[in-house]
Amino acid sequence: MGWLGEDHQFPVGQVSIKFITIIQKLCSQPVMLHRGFHCCEFCDNATGNGQICVRHPNGNWYSAPTMLHHYVTVHHYLPPEEFIEAVLNPIEVMKPE
């Protein structure tokens, strides 16, 4: 969820301040770190090196890059509604070890 690249279009729109606040906190505490990093392909102003994971009330797990906060706030990426619901009302959030 949320791995964006300049070769592919993505949905844009508005999300709530609550969603942005939660994503900011989650992205500052990634659960899976990568050995390298990824630069934003749209502006080169941000990098990310990990993932976040949340579990929706229906039991599905969703994973997203730590770049998600940047993509949502700077490039107005609109994640799927079910992912937004999982972030706002998770039954479980993976924590860093």
Render pLDDT for 13-54 as a digit per residue (tens, 0 to 9).
999 999 999 999 999 988 876 676 777 788 878 777 889 999
Q: What is the pTM of this model?
A: 0.87
Domain range list for the chain: 17-93
pLDDT at residue 77, as a whole number: 96
Token pair belonging to 94: 């993976």
pLDDT at residue 45, as a whole number: 80
DSSP letters spanning 39-92:
E-TTTS--EEEEEEEEE-TTS-EEEEETTHHHHHHHS-B---HHHHHHHHS-SE
Token pair belonging to 60: 């599905």
pLDDT at residue 96, as a whole number: 67
Cβ proximity of 30 and 52 under 8 Å: yes
Token pair belonging to 9: 């279009």
